[in-house]
Copies of this chain bind each other. A is one copy, B any other.
Amino acid sequence: MERPRHQGMAKNTYMRWRLPLVCLLWEVAMIILFGVFVRFGPEADAHWEEKKREMNLTSDIENDFYFRYPSFQDVHVMIFVGFGFLMTFLKRYGFGAVGFNFLLAAFGIQWAILMQGWFHSFKSGKILIGVENLINADFCVGSVCIAFGAILGKTSPIQVLIMTLFQVTLFAVNEYILLNLLHVKDAGGSMTIHTFGAYFGLTVTRILYRPNLEQSKDKQGSVYHSDLFAMIGTLYLWMYWPSFNSAISEHGDAQHRAAINTYCSLAACVLTTVAFSSMLQKKGKLDMVHIQNATLAGGVAVGTSAEMMLTPYGSLIVGFICGIVSTVGYVYLTPFLESRLHIQDTCGIHNLHGMPGLIGGIVGAITAAAATEDVYGKEGFIKAFDFTGPYQRRTASVQGGFQAAGIVVSLLMAFGGGALVG
């Protein structure tokens, strides 16, 4: 029952032993580290009945599982089907994109559970995990998938796995600096996921630059069915983005609000993408690549602010702007980056994640700085920004400043880390 194997997946795996060895050794390492460190959190442990009494919960439905599991599954689909199929538009890398994405994500989530666990869920020597850890691991890997979009077709599976190892590590450090040291809000990850992932990937691809790659441009052509497969990726990302931005927000109103803001921003983004795609093309035809990518920029750009009181019309404005910025980026900036700065951005992640991520960070900083007790309510204000304990006295404008600092830190980590890995 031998079946033909496709080039995209196979062409770079020329070394018979190296890939198996890396996979097996790393997986053994994961098992040992999980064995030493990872245990079930209280809500997934069989002692839950006793904990439930301690936590004063009256019903099983108050288990965090029921608050977050549906969103987790949506995020899971975004990472594996969304990002995977979005990259199938390239004629010759269709299967390779989906397959490599599958491999890097499956490895990445294990390493992410460990790295993020040490920083955020470490209690008396153990990492205690629950559904929120699974979502965060998926988020972390999402950032690697973004960076992978820049180097698609230029690396071997082993190089991709090594990049995953380092990027997940740096992601966790950056996330720790932002969320814990700067006490910044970034539930949908405009800064931690998109800005970091995009500029990390762009730095790596700049360093991997080889001029002769330009000649193989024919491989980058798209074909009819590839475009429909890519559209599956696009639509799943677009539809489930409200789950992405709300998945780890506070229970209740914050999750609800994050979903609504993201829904609005994405809807507006589609219209300006179509408008500018049509306007900037000869004869007013639409470019498939814009429809497949720029329509998603609205989701990226409310990643930080979606759980805040951005309001539905604020979200529409953000989506409106990002559809334009992203489409214009595909038309003018990507060719410029390639010809002048020698940055070959295969999937245009600078337009979809880089710039919208930066915009998202800025919108988040402004929205936070503009927050008032009047708009949020006294309790809501404290809850929204978690102004408790040592942060009890932080004001909205100070928070805005820290949010802005978060953007800078993410950029520096991305450039530094990317240069290191590249």
Contact = CB atoms under 8 A, between A and B. Distances in A.
Interface residues of A, number: 144
Contact of A27 (B43, B62, B251, B272): B272
Nearest to A263: B134
Contacts of A334: 1
Residue of A129, A267, A279, A311 with most partner-chain B CB within 10 A: A267
A13 B284 contact: yes
Interface in A45-63: 45-50, 52, 58-63
A270 B106 contact: yes
Interface string A326-346: 000010001100100000000
Interface stretch (A191-199, A285-293, A393-401): A285-293
Q: How many copies does the complex hold?
A: 3
Interface in A297-322: 309, 311-313, 316-317, 320
Interface string A363-382: 00000000000011101110
Nearest to A111: B267
A348 B310 CA distance: 43
Nearest to A78: B239
Given A270-B103, A376-B47, A380-B46, A260 B14 contact: no
A69 interface: yes
Nearest to A258: B44
Q: Is the interface of A mostly helix, strand, loop or mixed?
A: helix
Contact of A38 (B253, B271, B313): B313
Given A69-B259, A80-B239, A106 B3 contact: no
A155 B89 CA distance: 27
Contacts of A348: 1
Nearest to A243: B73
Contacts of A286: 5, 9-10, 13, 99
Interface stretch (A205-213, A222-230, A402-410): A222-230
Given A5-B287, A23-B278, A59-B62, 6 more contacts: A20-B276, A40-B260, A46-B253, A65-B259, A106-B266, A129-B260
Interface of A: 1-6, 9-10, 13-17, 19-21, 23-24, 26-28, 30-31, 34-35, 38-40, 43-50, 52, 58-67, 69-71, 73-74, 76-77, 80-81, 84, 88-89, 94-95, 98-99, 102-103, 106-107, 109-110, 113, 129-131, 134, 157, 220-222, 224-225, 227-229, 231-232, 235-236, 238-240, 242-243, 251-257, 259-260, 263-264, 266-268, 270-272, 274-276, 278-279, 281, 283-289, 291, 295, 309, 311-313, 316-317, 320, 330, 334-335, 338, 348, 375-377, 379-381, 383-384
22 contacts: A1-B220, A3-B287, A5-B281, A5-B285, A6-B288, A16-B279, A31-B268, A39-B312, A43-B252, A45-B309, A46-B253, A47-B376, A61-B67, A65-B259, A80-B238, A81-B232, A81-B235, A98-B228, A103-B271, A106-B267, A106-B270, A110-B316
